[in-house]
Amino acid sequence: MRILKFSQKILLDRVVLRPIALFLNCIVRPAGIILKRNHDSTAANVKTIVIAKLVGMGSICRATPMIREIRHNYPDAKIVVLTSCKNRIIVERLNNIDNVLYIDDLSVISTALSSLRVLFTLWKLRVDLYFDLEVYSAYSTLLATLSLARNRYGYYRESTAFRLGLHTHLVYFNDNRNISYIYMMLAKACGAFSSDLRLDKPVILKDDVHKLQLFLKDASGNSNDKYIVINPNASELLEERKWPGDYFAELINVLSTGFNGTIYLIGSADEFAYNAGIYDKLDNSAKESTRNVAGKLPFGQVLSLIENAQCMLTNDSGLFHIALSLGTKTISLWGPGNRTHYADYEYVDQIALQNPDIYCSPCIYRVDKVPCRGNNKCMKSLHPVTVLNALLRVCSIPGSNFNMAPLERIYNEVNAEALNITMTSKRLRRIATTQ
C-alpha cells in the first residue's frame, strides 16, 4: 500500500477531484431548484448535525467554541464530527460531540473505501446541517454534497468557485480574522453565534495525571520538579514553519545554565529523530537536564505534561493550539502563518513572535508552494535572544545570569547564508528575495 504524502493529496485534489466537483455542480444546482428541498434550520427541524474538519488537530481545537454554541442552539440534535484517523487522539477527548466518523487517508484505496463507509453512514443519519470547515478542498466539498444533507455550510474564496452550487450556504473566508471567529461565523449562518471564543479543554483523566507523575519522578527524581516544554516540530502540512533546529539547541544550552529544572522536547513518534538531532547538539550539562519524550508518552499524558508546564515554547503547530486550550503559558514562533489569525491574546498568557519586516510573510494563505522553497527567512530572522527573553519573561526567570553571546553567534551563522532564491521554468526566470 503506497502511503500518500500531503503534497500528493493536494495534487490529487486539484487535478482529479476539482473537475469532478465542477461537473457535479452542473447536476446539483438545477436539482436543488427542481426538488425545492426544505432548508429550515430551526431546532425543531434539526435532528443530526455533522461538523467536518479533516486536516489539522489544532484546527479541531479551534472549532470547539463553534461546536459548543451549536450544541447550545440545538440541545436535542445529534452532533457528529467527521475527521481523519490522525485526529482520533484529540477528538475523543472533546465535549459536546455524540459521535465521530473517520476517514483513513493513508492511501488512495483506504481513502476511497473509508469515504464510501462514511457516506453510507451519513445517508442513514439523514443529516440536516453539515458544516464543512475545510476551505480549499474539493474532496471535502464532494463529501458534503454526497452526504445529501439538507443544509450544507462552507467557505468560499475566489479560487473555490467550484463550491458555488454544491454548498447551500457559503460564508466568505477572511484570513485576516481569528480562525475561531471564522468558524463561529459559519455557525452564524444558521443562527448560532457567541462572542465567547475560549477553547474547550480536552479531557485529561486522573490516570493520565497519575502516570505522568510517576514518569516525571523517574525522569528527574522529583515529580514536583519545575519544567519547560519545547515543541521544535511542525506537521507535514508545512515544514517551513519550523524555527531552525540549531537555534533550539543553542537556546537550550544557554537556558540550562540558569534554569533549575527539566526541559522536555515533545512531538510525535515520527518526530523523535528530529528532536534527537537537536539533543545531540546540546552541551553535556544541557543534556543532563533535557529529555526527548517525542512519541514516548500516551497522548493523555502529553496533555497533562503541557498543562502543568511552567510554559511551552513551540512552533506554529497543533500542539500550540492544545497548549492554548489547556491554558498553558506559551511562546509561539510564526513565519509563513499569521499570528493574528491563530493566536489568542485575550484568553491565554502568551507571546506570539513574528518578524513584520519579512516581505513575503505570511504567505501560506495565498500560495500552494511558499516563495522561499524552504529557505524560511521569516523563521530564521526570529532572533534566539528575543525568543529567550520572551521565555524568561513568561516563566518569570531572572535573565541577568544568562550569557547571550552564543545566541548572537548562532544567529549570525545561520543568517550568513545566501537569501536569494532563483525560481525557473521553461519560459520564466526570476529572482525572488525574502530580504
CATH code at position 305 = 3.40.50.2000
- Are 184 and 119 contained in the same domain? yes
- If asked whether residues 119 and 224 sit together in one domain, one would say no
The phi, psi pair for 358, rounded to 5°, reads -85, 115
Q: pLDDT for 74-93, tens place per residue? A: 999 999 999 999 999 999 99
Whether the predicted pLDDT of 400 surpasses 90: no
Per-residue pLDDT at 428 exceeds 50: no
- Separation of alpha carbons 365 and 411, rounded Å: 28
195 in a structural domain: no
How far is the C-alpha of 198 from the C-alpha of 346, rounded, in Å? 9
pLDDT digits (tens, 9 = 90+) for 98-153: 999 999 999 999 999 999 999 999 999 999 999 999 999 999 999 999 999 999 99
Is a pLDDT exceeding 70 seen at residue 420?
no
**How confident is the model at residue 222, as a pLDDT?**
65
What confidence score (pLDDT) does residue 1 get? 59
pLDDT value, residue 368: 73
Please state, rounded to an integer, the average pLDDT across all residues of the chain.
90
Report the candidate in 294, 290, 272, 306 with the shortest Cα–Cα distance to residue 204: 306
Domain end residue (candidates: 188, 217, 233): 188
Of residues 63, 92, 101, the one with CA closest to residue 325 = 63
Q: Per-residue pLDDT averaged across 207-232, rounded?
A: 87
Are residues 182 and 132 both part of a single domain?
yes
**Residue 70 pLDDT more than 60?**
yes
**Residue 170 pairs with which residues in a beta bridge?**
154
pLDDT at 223: 60
Cell triple for residue 376?
524560511
174 with 213, same domain? no
Cβ atoms within 10 Å of 343's Cβ, excluding its own: 24
The reply to whether 248 and 360 lie within a common domain is: yes
* Domain count across the chain: 2
343 — pLDDT class (breaks 50, 70, 90): confident
pLDDT digits (tens, 9 = 90+) for 256-283: 999 989 999 999 999 999 999 999 999 9
**DSSP element (H, E) containing 44:** none
Residue 31 has a pLDDT of: 80
In a domain, 16, yes or no: yes
Cell triple for 224: 514536583
C-alpha cell at 167: 454548498
Confidence of residue 426 (pLDDT cuts 50, 70, 90): very low
| Residue 210 and residue 151 share a domain | no
Work out the pLDDT band at 6, boundaries 50, 70, 90: confident
CA–CA separation, 122 and 380 (whole Å)? 46
Query: Does residue 144 share a domain with residue 35?
Result: yes
* DSSP 3-state percent helix, strand, coil across the chain (nearest 5): 45, 15, 40
Distance (Å) of CA 238 to CA 187, 232, 363: 28, 13, 11
pLDDT digits (tens, 9 = 90+) for 276-310: 999 999 999 999 999 999 999 999 999 999 999 99
Residue 149 domain-assigned (yes or no): yes
**223 and 104, same domain (yes or no):** no
Distance set, CA 419 to CA 177, 370, 375, 384, 415 (Å)? 31, 14, 7, 19, 8
d(CA 332, CA 343) in angstroms, rounded, equals 8
Tell me the H-state helices in 284-430: 284-288, 299-307, 318-325, 339-342, 377-380, 384-394, 405-414
CA-to-CA distance for 352 and 315, rounded, in angstroms?
10
| Same domain, yes or no: 259 and 173 | no
Give the residue numbers spanning the domain of 75.
6-188
pLDDT band at 433 (very low <50, low <70, confident <90, very high): very low
Q: What would you report as the CA-atom Rg of the chain, rounded to the nearest whole angstrom?
A: 23
CB 84 within 8 A of CB 114: no
**Strands 312-315 and 227-231: what pairing?**
parallel
Same domain, 333 and 426: yes
Question: For the residues 33-39, what does the mean pLDDT come to?
Answer: 80
Q: For 11-28, how does the pLDDT look when each residue is reduced to its tens digit (9 = 90+)?
A: 899 999 999 999 998 888
pLDDT at residue number 190: 95
- What cell numbers appear for 210 in the block? 497519575
- What's the pLDDT at 238? 81
Q: What is the pLDDT of residue 345?
A: 65
In which residue are the cell numbers 500518500 written?
Answer: 4
Check residue 156 and give its pLDDT: 92
Helix (H), strand (E) at residue 16: none
Q: Is it the case that residue 333 has pLDDT exceeding 50?
A: yes
Instruction: Tell me the pLDDT tens digit for each residue of 147-174.
Output: 999 999 999 988 888 898 899 999 999 9
**What is the CB-side half-sphere exposure of residue 24 using CA atoms within 13 A?**
21
Q: Are residues 90 and 157 in the same domain?
A: yes
The CA angle 352-300-101, to the nearest 5 degrees, is 95
Grid cell of 193 as nine digits: 453565534
Residues facing 153 on adjacent strands: 131, 169
The percentage of residues in the chain with a pLDDT greater than 90, rounded to a whole number, is: 73
Strands lying side by side in the sheet with 330-334: 290-292, 262-265, 227-231, 312-315, 330-334, 350-354
CA torsion sign, 31 to 32 to 36 to 42?
A: positive
Residue 416: is its pLDDT beyond 90? no
Return the amino acid letter for 259: F
Which has more pLDDT, 173 or 420?
173
Phi, psi of 413 (to 5 degrees): -65, -45
Q: Are residues 182 and 213 in the same domain?
A: no
Sign of the dihedral defined by the CA atoms of residues 22, 24, 30, 32, in that order? negative
Query: Could you tell me if residue 425 is inside a domain?
Result: yes
- Domain membership of residue 350 (yes or no) is yes
Residues 6+ apart with CB under 8 A from 194: 65, 68, 69, 72, 184
**Which pLDDT value is given to residue 342?**
86
- The answer for residues whose C-beta is within 8 angstroms of residue 298's C-beta and 6 or more apart is 208, 211
